[in-house]
Structure 1
């Protein structure tokens, strides 16, 4: 049996096969969300501040709203190019809708602000996800991922969907925290609504949690994101059998250098320079170390021989 017969591929174009694949994908994701949504990665998520029940409900609500969005967009029958142009607005409206509906029972208005620190971490993965779900894989450019677009693995689209759901849930809670403004209000609201993770029930634990998130976001933005850019990788969040984890997938980013600021470009050049210089420097120092070790061993051996001769000379007397 050939390798291509084993792998399940995503449909290439709009058809009954694409509709069936959509149904299967949403059902599988629903089942995974019902199991475990606790954070099992080595990084912080804003979602961590919620207890397991509330976190799961938020992600399930996000998925249900997304299903409706996809159905609406299929009915509208947009051109793929028009869809990509409108995607940022669509995602912003979608996040606000999910947030409003979810927090309605708490009588709390939580919408995305224009604050620069709270922008949705938008990337082309969102474009590709919507195109896969609405139009099929044939509308994706070649050389974006490691495989040919005609042979897009089903699991690849599943990863993009899970990542999108988790990212949306995370930005909603980030916005909630921003709107509550300080740790005292956050603590009071979470406790009153009974949605708080037990690890963050005190004001001090919430302050520490928020500081860790800020520090992590800073490092991520100026170090890890650039390294990922340089290595043409993109971090994604997925739902494993143990809970939420992060992984990296290949994503061509050759066209995005112009979007980087001066600091990030400098760091990118440093990575290029490092990759060019360090292997040669390592080879040089390894060679020097070999010579030094060789000379040291010879010197040590000669010293031992001299010492033995001296001992033998005195013993012979």
Structure 2
């Protein structure tokens, strides 16, 4: 007999069950951060420039600060609507606080995070994560994800939390790199603080790393993000047994079309046309190919018959 899989759901309302679920989630995530967090996604992250020890410390610091943020949000008793309105400001303050605490030991003067750089789709995922942790799943809008809000899988919230931690760490390292301005300063700072990934210990390797990141971000922004938008998918980063990997989850983006610029809208229009025309074109080409193959076979058969008759005719002579 096959074993019945029991799905664990996230609590719907503020309750003891929700508090226990949040505590369990944080404990599980802490344990995963203590394991391997190498980047196994085949894509570059700004976090890659740190060695394993520092990367782990950074992500653990983010998780610890996030615990305090959740407690603060519960204490001030914000309603869900106000939470969504203040989301970007809350995250900007959070990133500044984490950066201040983490980089203080390195005596690095970082700049305040610009919340306008936080992408809308990612801001929306943070809205959902905060709502899940503070209010429960019943306060999430319907039709955002594939499942009904009252039956939100526990693992779904776990994915959002892991993605949040990795994304915040990535934003912080991007901010650090931007504040250092050039590869020489980056190389000098990382070496002095002994926090550099051994793969990027030379100035040349750092330049190559940053160029690869810029190219990847450009392609991601103008191709993959738009394709994901069109297919209503969202890439998230999770911590697996092998390390950090990327996955895709369903995320409805019907309301986000207004935020796209003209180039991206044209690309989406092209995808629509492609999806409309290519299947019909393929069908037409296949049909033509079948007729061509049929005619070719008939022609070849007739030529063989004619050739046989000619040979028989000359043999009879």
Deviation string for 1:36-90 (max 9, x for gaps)? 1111112111111111111111101100100011011111110110111111000
In the alignment, which residue of structure 1 is the partner of 2:247? 247
Pairwise CA distance, 1:109: 1.8
1:120 to 118, 121, 142: 118
Contact 1:100/1:111, CA 8 A, preserved across alignment: no
Q: Distance in 2 between matches of 1:181 and 1:34?
A: 32
Q: Distance in 1 between matches of 2:79 and 2:51?
A: 41
Q: Distance in 2 between matches of 1:85 and 1:191?
A: 41
In the alignment, which residue of structure 2 is the partner of 1:230? 230
Q: Does 1:50 align with 2:43?
A: no
Pairwise CA distance, 1:196: 1.0
Contact 1:143/1:252, CA 8 A, preserved across alignment: yes
Contact 2:14/2:136, CA 8 A, preserved across alignment: yes
In the alignment, which residue of structure 1 is the partner of 2:107? 107
Pairwise CA distance, 1:240: 0.7
| Partner SS for 1:256 | helix
In the alignment, which residue of structure 1 is the partner of 2:76? 76
Pairwise CA distance, 1:311: 4.3
Q: Distance in 2 between matches of 1:124 and 1:234?
A: 11
TM-score (ref. length: structure 1): 0.94
Q: Distance in 2 between matches of 1:115 and 1:214?
A: 20
Unaligned runs of 5+ in 2: none
- How many residue pairs align between the two structures? 313
Q: Distance in 2 between matches of 1:144 and 1:212?
A: 33
Q: Does 1:177 align with 2:177?
A: yes
The alpha-carbon distance between structure 1 residues 137 and 115, as it changes in their structure 2 partners (threshold 3 A), is closer
Unaligned runs of 5+ in 1: none
In the alignment, which residue of structure 2 is the partner of 1:164? 164
| Partner SS for 2:108 | coil
In the alignment, which residue of structure 1 is the partner of 2:136? 136
In the alignment, which residue of structure 2 is the partner of 1:204? 204
In the alignment, which residue of structure 1 is the partner of 2:6? 6
Q: Distance in 1 between matches of 2:281 and 2:170?
A: 43
Q: Distance in 1 between matches of 2:51 and 2:101?
A: 19
In the alignment, which residue of structure 2 is the partner of 1:263? 263
Q: Distance in 2 between matches of 1:115 and 1:27?
A: 29
TM-score (ref. length: structure 2): 0.94
| Partner SS for 2:90 | helix
Pairwise CA distance, 1:158: 0.3
Pairwise CA distance, 1:313: 4.6
| Partner SS for 2:34 | helix
Contact 2:51/2:195, CA 8 A, preserved across alignment: yes
Q: Does 1:93 align with 2:70?
A: no
Pairwise CA distance, 1:5: 8.0
Q: Distance in 2 between matches of 1:180 and 1:102?
A: 16
- Output the aligned Cα RMSD: 1.8
Deviation string for 1:208-243 (max 9, x for gaps)? 111111111111111111111111111111011101
In the alignment, which residue of structure 2 is the partner of 1:31? 31
Deviation string for 1:132-168 (max 9, x for gaps)? 0000001111111111111110000000000000000
